[in-house]
Structure 1
Amino acid sequence: MICKGHIYGVILNDREERVRLAQAFQEKPYLAPPAAPVVYMKPAVTLSRSPVRLEPGRSAVAGATVALLIARDTTGVSAQEAMECVGAASLAIDIAYEQADYYRPAIAQRNADGFLVMGQWRAPALPEQIRTFVDGRVAHDWPLDRLVRTPGQLIADISAFLTLRAGDVLLAGLPGDAPDVQPGVDLRVEADGFEPAIALIEEYAQ
């Protein structure tokens, strides 16, 4: 199974991040927290073949997550039915330049060439804990019970307004406290039962 469709990600699906931003969401321009999943897309050019190259003088945020490969067209499913529509899962690292706020889509920040690192696909499963290593040291560790919407609920809520097609990939959510990475480091994301997602972070040659 391969990714031959669209790639969707979701922001603000981390419970701890939502708590931290609760006051900001009561102020302008938001005035309320999001009620539906906040979905973004990553084009195929973001799939990394390593290394990941950053603009000179910039760091980036490395968000570890689990990617779900949709096995059949999915629309209007319940949370209980949703995971039956998933054909495979893998670890992923969603690279992005830091954004100032969530009011405008972070297109330039998230969609640079090679800004999505994928591990190997395996049978559908969800890790309990995802660990990010930078140069061999643990830089971040987050349990997926922090997700506001479980992957099943996320698929159900998205499929209520958008058909997920066979071959599409859905990234289940990002930790709001994901680590910054600099050029010159080795990045590795691990979870029990999954092949790691690995990348070398470099800087574009000037």
Structure 2
Amino acid sequence: AALFGRSFLSLKLNPTPNIGTKRESPIKIQTNNTFSNIIMCLHLINNLQDKSISLPLTYKQFDCLGIQALINRLVRRNLHEFATKLTKFLNIPADEGENRILVQWAVQEINNPTNTNEESISEIIKSRLENVSGIPFIEIIGAAFLAKKTIVVRRLLDVKVTINDQVDILLTLGDKEEALQRALKSENTDLVLYVLMRIKADESLTDYMLRLKKLKSLPINLHLE
């Protein structure tokens, strides 16, 4: 079968080596890579036909569909584990493969109408993704915000989210006090000023001045301003 398959390749798999040189022919390298890629794809296509996946494709269909579109189909079928194995099998970079799949899984968990316990959703996402490097939690938080699941948003704020993004999200949620406290804790003067200006725009001057008087941890350079 292998010999039969080789006959369809336009290049010879084993060209006659040049006498007196140890360098491998570029044609041989290219052909071997092509052969390996085809075998890898055929192995994957065979796995797609399994009953647990039920996604039969011809090689031509697979080639036209593309890897990313195939991953999207698997994710829509909730076959996240198989999709993740596929990305590892094909050596796809994590940010384009495994991490993207995990983010989509988290978003599906958030948008699942049967998942009404926001505390439980938060814990499931945190326990699975907290120790995975490179996960853009801000995207997951954005999905939770759009789904109006504010508890999920708050629970995920402390998981690998920059202080600037934390403050912006809290201000969007209307939690001015928490946003200000986090900004003060960061000791970032520019960030504190940014929060104060946002608060000032929403409050009367009297309320704003009273808020400033209550703050004991305000940086001295802000007092001077």
What's the TM-score, normalizing by structure 1? 0.18
Bigger Rg over Cα: 2
